[in-house]
């Protein structure tokens, strides 16, 4: 699945740390939000919510003419009207190609159609490795976004992808570099509002029951958002994806379950470093199968083969003193072990026969994707930076005292609506941020560079689930009957580092089988397995 090249994993931190502006720089900070019932972080462009998207370079927005949540009356008639589901449009917004308005002047009342965008008839397919489909037409429109200071920034004559074929409910704010020269980072760079095409992001803890918030810094780094060392690594080269973009890839050198009180730890990766991709459009981590088996043993999880889920007693994990450590050479990112629970005891209807609430582990085998990936369970516990121009990625532990308030995002949505109605004006420059500094090509502020002698290539392979499912079924000791979890053995009384049980004999390799799609339905975005021959009869939503 993953070709690891010549493996020389000697990390040597450089003694030099990149300097930053003493007075701060005018770095644009865009508010992000994951509304209640939705685990994924959105930014607003005009009146449309688009996902934080690190794997491709363009802004893309669904064309409502082709979406299942919109219907066109009298489709053969030139005067047909388009009606979209209000539950969807109120959550994500919609960008119509045109709209009809009525005005009155001295000559009377007239009805006119106003074009909102210009189509190019240049069709593109956005390359994703994770099963997202987004095909459409390059279009141009006058768009805008609002920063955290409620300043409005126009995107005049902005090129984006108007997508007519997708399996997503929401589009994407692409932040990868782009050889074609499109995308928001290129736009701001050409306007001399940023010094290089890079970004950083801070994401608060996600909770399906509550709104969660974050901040995206376009072209800069904010020192107040992280603690400890910010460590910079060269991104890994990759193969198996026809993209051409610099992607957020990094070498994961170990994963550990650690007792925070005694520092006793158990390694889950067992010395085998793993190239990983960072992806905020994934609510799960995708890790090698033997890592998942070891994690299940440490958390007393039971596998349910009918639902393909690892089930665990919520309180065992939530009340434990255990931490999860992600090691990247000299850097350790710490997260509570509860970050591996999909949701919490407040948002699951499952219970064990004892009455204890049941949670799910938010991990899947790497083979389901064809590569290893760290999604929101990791990204909500780290501060991450990409220097696209210099080909570097930097990571740090996030500052948990840094707060992003609900009022901020509410105010931004209000300002966005005011601007679209003409009652708010635009800004030419962002405000000075005393704790922020611009990223320059090859130079990330406050970052300590790691010199590595490694030669590692990340391969995006074919997705399959056959072998992994067969192995996990051996651990199938849980059945779900009417919302009750029935297990065939009693769970251990402890959670956290215990005697290591080897699973080195496990293998997750297999011939190509079912693929994976990042799927949205209604208000939820889920990861579902689908057959490449459409066994289950659905490909879009």
The parent domain of residue 267 ranges over 226-392+455-490
- Based on the domain organization, do 166 and 111 belong to the same domain? yes
- Based on the domain organization, do 130 and 235 belong to the same domain? no
* E-state strands within 235-342: 238-239, 249-252, 254-259, 265-267, 274-278, 285-287, 302-304, 309-313, 322-328, 331-336, 341-342
Task: For residue 522, tell me if it sits in a domain.
Answer: no
Task: For residue 347, tell me if it sits in a domain.
Answer: yes
Please say whether the beta carbons of 185 and 199 come within 8 A. Answer: yes
Q: Cα-flanking dihedrals φ and ψ of residue 118, to 5°? A: -120, 120
Task: For residue 14, tell me if it sits in a domain.
Answer: no
Beta bridge partners of 231: 395, 448
pLDDT digit of tens for each residue in the chain (541 aa)?
333 333 344 555 554 566 555 577 999 999 999 887 778 999 999 989 999 999 999 999 999 988 888 887 655 544 556 788 888 888 899 999 987 667 677 777 777 778 899 999 999 999 999 999 999 999 999 999 999 888 899 999 999 999 999 999 999 999 999 888 899 999 999 999 999 999 999 998 755 456 789 999 999 999 999 999 999 999 999 999 998 899 999 999 999 999 988 889 999 997 789 999 999 999 999 999 999 999 998 998 888 877 788 889 899 999 998 999 999 999 999 999 999 997 554 555 778 878 888 888 999 999 999 999 999 999 999 999 999 999 999 999 999 999 885 545 445 555 555 555 554 555 556 777 889 999 999 899 999 999 776 689 999 999 988 877 777 776 665 555 555 655 555 544 455 554 433 333 333 332 222 333 333 333 333 333 322 222 222 222 2
Residue of 484, 491, 482, 481 whose CA lies nearest to 355:
484
Please say whether the beta carbons of 30 and 436 come within 8 A. Answer: no
Instruction: For residue 261, give both structure tokens.
Output: 């009180």
- Based on the domain organization, do 85 and 191 belong to the same domain? yes
Residue of 322, 326, 312, 316 whose CA lies nearest to 256:
326
- Based on the domain organization, do 187 and 279 belong to the same domain? no
Please say whether the beta carbons of 280 and 52 come within 8 A. Answer: yes
Task: For residue 424, tell me if it sits in a domain.
Answer: no
- Based on the domain organization, do 199 and 319 belong to the same domain? no
Q: Quote the CA–CA distance of 270 and 498 in Å, as a whole number.
A: 15
Please say whether the beta carbons of 44 and 416 come within 8 A. Answer: yes
Task: For residue 12, tell me if it sits in a domain.
Answer: no
Single pTM value for the model: 0.83
Structurally, how many domains does the chain consist of?
2
- Based on the domain organization, do 233 and 244 belong to the same domain? yes
- Based on the domain organization, do 50 and 198 belong to the same domain? yes
Q: Quote the CA–CA distance of 351 and 342 in Å, as a whole number.
A: 15
Residue of 21, 20, 18 whose CA lies nearest to 450:
18
- Based on the domain organization, do 139 and 230 belong to the same domain? no
Instruction: For residue 425, give both structure tokens.
Output: 């004006």
- Based on the domain organization, do 407 and 465 belong to the same domain? no
Q: How far apart are the first and last CA of the chain?
A: 29
- Based on the domain organization, do 152 and 253 belong to the same domain? no
How far CA 429 is from CA of 22, 149, 191, in Å, comes to 19, 11, 11
- Based on the domain organization, do 371 and 401 belong to the same domain? no
Q: Read off the CATH number of the domain in which 65 is found.
A: 2.40.70.10
Please say whether the beta carbons of 273 and 9 come within 8 A. Answer: yes
Task: For residue 124, tell me if it sits in a domain.
Answer: yes
- Based on the domain organization, do 276 and 368 belong to the same domain? yes
Task: For residue 188, tell me if it sits in a domain.
Answer: yes
State the pairing for strand pair 226-234/447-452.
parallel
With residues binned 3-state (H G I as helix, E B as strand, rest as coil), the percentages for the chain, rounded to 5, are 15, 40, 45
H-only helix segments in 191-250: none
Task: For residue 161, tell me if it sits in a domain.
Answer: yes
């Amino acid at each position: 699945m993953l070709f690891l090249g010549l493996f020389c994993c000697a990390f040597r931190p450089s003694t030099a740390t990149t300097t930053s502006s003493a007075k701060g720089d005018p770095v644009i900070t865009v508010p992000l939000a994951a509304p209640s019932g939705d685990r994924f972080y959105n930014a607003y462009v005009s009146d449309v919510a688009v996902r934080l998207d690190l794997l491709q370079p363009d802004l893309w927005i669904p064309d409502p003419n082709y979406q299942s949540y919109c219907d066109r009356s009298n489709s053969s008639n030139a005067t047909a009207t388009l009606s979209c589901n209000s539950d969807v449009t109120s959550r994500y917004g919609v960008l119509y190609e045109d709209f009809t308005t009525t005005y009155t002047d001295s000559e009377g009342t007239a009805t006119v159609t106003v074009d909102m965008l210009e189509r190019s008839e240049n069709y593109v397919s956005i390359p994703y490795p994770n099963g997202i489909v987004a095909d459409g037409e390059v279009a141009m429109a006058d768009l805008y976004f609002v920063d955290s200071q409620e300043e409005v920034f126009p995107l005049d004559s902005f090129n984006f992808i108007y997508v007519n074929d997708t399996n997503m409910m929401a589009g994407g704010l692409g932040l990868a570099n782009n050889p074609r020269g499109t995308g928001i980072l290129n736009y701001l760079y050409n306007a001399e509002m940023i010094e290089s095409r890079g970004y950083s992001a801070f994401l608060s803890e996600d909770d399906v029951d509550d709104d969660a918030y974050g901040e995206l810094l376009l072209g800069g780094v904010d020192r107040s958002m992280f603690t400890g060392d910010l460590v910079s690594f060269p991104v890994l080269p990759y193969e198996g994806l026809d993209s051409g973009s610099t992607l957020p890839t990094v070498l994961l050198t170990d994963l550990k379950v650690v007792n925070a009180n005694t520092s006793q730890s158990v390694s889950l990766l067992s010395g085998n470093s793993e190239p990983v991709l960072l992806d905020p459009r994934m609510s799960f981590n995708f890790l090698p199968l033997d890592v998942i088996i070891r994690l299940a043993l440490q958390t007393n999880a039971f596998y349910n083969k009918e639902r393909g889920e690892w089930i665990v007693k919520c309180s065992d994990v939530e009340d434990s003193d255990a931490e999860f450590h992600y090691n990247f050479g000299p850097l350790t990112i710490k997260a509570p072990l509860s970050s591996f629970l999909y949701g919490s005891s407040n948002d699951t209807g499952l219970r064990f026969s004892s009455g204890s609430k049941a949670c799910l582990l938010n991990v899947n085998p790497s083979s389901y994707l064809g590569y290893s990936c760290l999604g929101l369970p990791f990204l909500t516990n780290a501060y991450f930076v990409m220097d696209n121009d210099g080909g570097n990625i930097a990571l740090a532990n996030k500052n948990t005292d840094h707060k992003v308030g609900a009022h901020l995002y509410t105010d931004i949505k209000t300002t966005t609506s005011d601007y679209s109605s003409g009652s708010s004006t635009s800004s030419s420059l962002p405000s000075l941020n005393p704790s922020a500094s611009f990223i320059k090509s090859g130079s990330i502020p406050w970052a300590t560079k790691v010199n590595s002698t490694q030669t590692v290539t990340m391969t995006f392979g074919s997705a399959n689930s056959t072998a992994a499912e067969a192995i996990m079924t051996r651990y199938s000791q849980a059945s779900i009957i009417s919302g009750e979890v029935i297990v065939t053995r009693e769970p251990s009384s402890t959670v956290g580092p215990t005697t290591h049980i080897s699973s080195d004999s496990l293998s997750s390799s297999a011939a190509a089988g079912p693929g994976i799609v990042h799927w949205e339905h209604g208000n939820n975005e889920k990861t579902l397995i689908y057959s490449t021959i459409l066994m289950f009869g659905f490909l879009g939503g």
